[in-house]
Amino acid sequence: MMKQIIFAAILLLTLIILGYSFYRIYRFFKLTRPAFKIKDHAQRFNELMRVAFGQSKIFRWPFTGLMHALVFWGFLVITIGSVEMVIDGVAGTHRALGVLGAVYNVIIGSGDVFAVIVLLAILIFLGRRLVMNINRFNGIELRKKSKQDAILALTLIFLLMVSLLGMNMAYVALYESKVWFEGVYPVSRWFSDLFLDGIPYDQLLIVHEVNWWTHILLIFIFANVLPYSKHFHVFTSLPNVYLSRLTPVGKMNTMEDVKTEVEMMMNPEAAQEPPAEELASFGVSDAEHITWKNYLDSLSCTQCGRCTSVCPANQTGKKLSPRKIMVDTRARMKERGPQLLDHGKNADDKKMLIEDFITAEELWACTTCNACVIECPININQPELILEMRRYLVLEQAKAPGELSTMLTNIENNGAPWQYSPEDRMKWSEELFMNV
Amino acid sequence: MTEQKKIDIPIMADLHSKGKKPEYLFWVGCAGAYDDRYKKVTRAFAKILTYFDVDYAVLGTEETCTGDPARRAGNEMLFQMQAMQVIETFKNYDIKKIITICPHCFNTFKNEYPDFGGNYEVIHHTRFINQLLEAHPGKVNADILKKYNIAYHDPCYLGRANGEYDAPREVISKVASKTLEIDPHKSNALCCGAGGAQMFKEAEPGDREVYDMRTEQALATGADVVATACPFCMTMITDGLKLQKKEDKVKNYDIAELVAMALGI
């Protein structure tokens, strides 16, 4: 009974802290602008199955893709066991989901195998981070803290798998001959014979308890670290994929405010008078101008750097890094959010997302080739923010690079980005012959 | 002995005044009309349309910029004004089907104009040519291009943006005997460096230019022709070949030019 009370108290504490973290993030979401109406649920579900559960985009890099997919699928199966541990902890039961019978055996059996697979994958990941000098894991946007963050998450997952296996091994050694023994343990059964043979019952009980508590407490700790870590994607990537931008990647979003204005200009009679709203600012210059989708993208970015490694500007040594756009956006909201919540929208810290975090030089280097978008394993759209910041520079500040200003003037005056007369448009067709 | 025939390009306004309405609008684009190198592509495509008796017309002096570079340079206002103006022109001639020789125009018409009420069947010239060749088999003389090893560079706005990887490759396979794939290609392909309004400005400082890197990847295939399907890609790859001092040995042709050659027109 005592164990149940202690467990329930710890669980409650975990949920309270987690709830607070989510509430904070929810309040930041409320500062953002609308993105799009969430419809087309069938298509979204399909995308969730393909990209998230099927891990289709992560496999664009076959080896690390497979490693990640195995960790993810393992996570899904093992999580069911974690839910059971919570039930057991509160209700004082043993292997409460055992009532599921054959289904339970499949879940626990595959979870047991996955524990070893995940353990090995994590060791490979740690090796890649600590030993191999992989370009993708460096970059100006990745500070020491990002690296520590990665190592911490990998270490926690490693310990989670060790304790899970320890718990299963002790469970097999203790109860395999008992009538109410639940589950199948293909790996732990074998390990148990290997490592726990001949250990007295009392000590096995302790091994089981220690691993049980270690495992569940690590889950509680991990869950509460996540909202403050780049590994928040454990929570946000599924929603992020479900809430993917469904329009073709080449399409840029239409600014509705501008549309109303242009319609009025082109056809003053037909256009409707726009509702007298407060004057909108065009584009994005700071965290409060981004949409909820941009913010969700930034929270979901796990800084894997696949976007940056395929970016043509980045590959040729230019300052742009699509990953940095996401890292900076998240960092700026973390700084800007509390100011806005405490002091209202007039709060001013003399800083902005643009220039203080992301420079015009980075923004103008983007070719909008969409390699980053195609590559991102969880459908983040980096060029959308880049374009919105360009819009701010051009529409609010009239700050386009000189040659682009010339190009824009040419379109305005001649209907072409080059300074040629519209009268010369058919010159290509003069004296045109073909062989017959 | 081949004979030369003068071609007259049908213009929408002329046909309209005669009460005629062609099936397709051939959208030439600013590069197709003004860029000296890309004018050759425009001519090649016009020859192909004439050769296959396609019912088409161009807008001529009524054509203007789609607004694509303005939008990508952040000037949404100018983009929208261009878009509404172009849609108005299309409305005048009741245009339903558009063929473009520029993936940027293609993308804008297909994906962005619907927000302004402009809904069209938009066809990139590589797809249109592929359909023509399929509908009229046996016209191409594959021997003409036999000497070339052809590598195709995927334009971002055709490939990644609109998923068109196959039509250009199918066309090349119909006119050539040897085709090569650049590493990386299709959805992994490297940009030529000109999209997103980069065409109209110097690149930001870096270690090298994107077009140089892409040209190097194309040259690594050992191809003697780099085939492109976009005016910007053509400018960039041509510059890349010059920078690599390979312009005498390796040629850069648009898909339309290759087909015109293979048709002997």
The ipTM is 0.95
Tokens matching residue B64: 């203007």
- Inter-chain contact A367–B210, Cβ cutoff 8 Å? yes
Domain check: are A138 and A200 in the same one? Answer: yes
pLDDT of A274 reads: 58
Q: How many CA atoms lie within 13 A of A43 on its CB side?
A: 8
Q: What pLDDT score was predicted for residue A275?
A: 58
B39 and B61 belong to one structural domain: yes
A65 & A202 share domain: yes
Which residue in the set A259, A310, A312 is minimally distant from B80, CB to CB?
A259
CATH number, domain of B148, equals: 3.40.50
Under-70 pLDDT residues of chain B: 1
User: Per the CB < 8 Å rule, is B199 touching A436?
Assistant: no
The reply to whether B258 and B162 lie within a common domain is: yes
**Nearest by CB: B201 against A403, A411, A418:** A403
Is residue A250, in this structure, part of any structural domain at all? no
Say whether both B158 and B255 belong to one domain.
yes
| Domain interval for residue A98 | 38-229
Domain assignment of residue B216, yes or no: yes
Q: Do B36 and B93 have their domain in common? A: yes
Q: What are the tens digits of pLDDT across the range B107-140? A: 999 999 999 999 999 999 999 999 999 999 999 9
- For residues B27 and B123, state if they share a domain: yes
A144 and A182: one domain?
yes
* A282 shares a domain with A188: no
Residue B84 is assigned to a structural domain of this protein = yes
Q: Determine whether the interchain pair A368/B204 forms a contact, defined as Cβ–Cβ distance below 8 Å.
A: no
Q: Is residue A434 part of a domain?
A: no
**Residues of chain A contacting residue B46, judged by C-beta atoms under 8 Å apart:** 429, 432
Q: Which residues of chain A have pLDDT under 50?
A: none
A432/B9 touch (CB, cutoff 8 Å), yes or no: yes
CATH code for the domain in which residue A337 is found:
1.10.1060
The answer to whether position A305 is within a domain reads yes
Domain identity same for B119 and B147: no
The number of distinct structural domains making up chain A is 2
Global model pTM greater than 0.90: yes
Among A181, A214, A229, which residue terminates a domain?
A: A229
Cα angle for residues B63, B65, B70 (degrees, 5° grid): 170
In a domain, B6, yes or no: no
B246: closest CA of chain A, how far (Å): 21
Q: Which of B128, B150, B184 lies at the terminal end of a domain, its last residue?
A: B128
Q: Is residue A3 part of a domain?
A: no
A310·B264 Cβ contact <8 A: no
Is B264–A320 a contact, with Cβ atoms under 8 angstroms apart? Answer: no
Residues of chain B with C-beta less than 8 angstroms from the C-beta of A415: 63-65, 82
At CA A114, angle to CA A176 and CA A75, rounded to 5? 115
Give the best residue of A367, A382, A404 to mutate against chain B (max B CB count within 10 A).
A367
Query: Residue A48 domain-assigned?
Result: yes
A83 and A46 housed in the same domain: yes
Q: Is residue B259 part of a domain?
A: yes
B255 part of a folded domain: yes
In a mutational test of the A interface, the residue from B4, B185, B200 whose CB has the highest number of chain A CBs within 10 Å is B200
Same domain for A179 and A260, yes or no, is no
Candidates B42, B56, B76, B110: best to mutate against A (most CBs of A within 10 A) is B76
What number of other Cβ atoms are within 10 A of residue A310's Cβ? Answer: 25
Listed residues B99, B128, B157: the one ending a domain: B128
B198 and B175 within one domain: yes
Domain boundary among A189, A214, A229: A229
User: What's the pLDDT score for residue A270?
Assistant: 65
Residue B147 belongs to a domain: yes
Contact criterion met (CB < 8 Å) for B115 and A254: yes
Q: Which residues of chain A does B9 touch, with a Cβ-Cβ cutoff of 8 Å?
A: 426, 429, 432
Give the domain extent around B251.
139-263
The verdict on B217 and B258 lying in the same domain is yes
Instruction: Classify residue A6: in a domain, yes or no.
Output: no
